[in-house]
Amino acid sequence: MREAFFHSYISCWEWSTSVLEEVGATKTLQLPHIRQDPNRRSPYSYPLMTLDDCRVADFLEFETFDNYCYAMFTFYQLIGQTSRENEVNLAVRSPRFLEAVASKDDVFLIEDIHCVKFRRDRFEEKVMTRWDEMQLRIFRRKDGVLK
């Protein structure tokens, strides 16, 4: 719950970690005993918030369509690494995923409580159309200020 996380420079985890850091849920760790490439961010992060803290936190300042596209692109990477044939592996998701995410987004098709499909056609239309137009692909506050 409060242990360091190592994303191993695997892009789906690296991108997810960048979102968590921007919203203040995690912080990048610089470990003095590990030689770090000065041109890359540390692959280690530390949670600043518990999952319960995140559930009650106010993230309204991050609610933009560009941030949604960034987060969904990141999630799409994760699905590619943890699921088969556009079926979301619910065993590796939060128990709240079905109600809090899948039921509220038409990118997901709920076939039953045990089977959620990722609708790639809708993802391409809704997310990737905007993604391709974005000049700057970063997750940031509505005011554009980065931490």
Residues 40 and 75 placed together within one structural domain of the fold: no
The pTM of the full predicted model, rounded to 2 decimals, is 0.83
Of the candidates 147, 136, 143, 131, the one whose C-alpha atom is nearest the C-alpha of residue 65 is 131
CB atoms inside a 10 Å sphere around CB 139 = 21
Per the structure, the count of domains in the chain is 2
Characterise 102 by phi-psi region: left (phi > 0), alpha (psi -120 to 50), beta (else): alpha
Per-residue model confidence as pLDDT tens digits over 26-79: 998 877 777 777 777 888 898 999 888 988 999 999 999 999 999 999 988 888
Residues 68 and 94 placed together within one structural domain of the fold: yes
- Domain annotation covers residue 144: no
Please check the confidence at residue 145 and state whether its pLDDT lies above 70. Answer: no
Strands across the sheet containing 5-6 = 5-6, 44-47, 26-29
Per-residue model confidence as pLDDT tens digits over 94-108: 778 888 889 999 999
Residue 45 and residue 17 in contact, taking contact as beta carbons nearer than 8 Å = yes
Confidence of residue 144 (pLDDT cuts 50, 70, 90): low
- Domain annotation covers residue 11: yes
Residues 128 and 71 placed together within one structural domain of the fold: yes
Residues 68 and 54 placed together within one structural domain of the fold: no
- Domain annotation covers residue 146: no
- Domain annotation covers residue 140: no
For residue 109, the enclosing domain spans 64-133
Alpha carbon distance 57, 40 (integer Å):
29
Residues 9 and 30 placed together within one structural domain of the fold: yes
Q: What secondary structure letter does DSSP report for 45? A: E
Q: Which of residues 18, 39, 58 is at a domain's end? A: 58
Query: pLDDT averaged over the chain?
Result: 86
Alpha carbon distance 33, 11 (integer Å):
24
- Average the pLDDT over each of 45-54, 80-89, 109-118 and give the range with the smallest value: 80-89
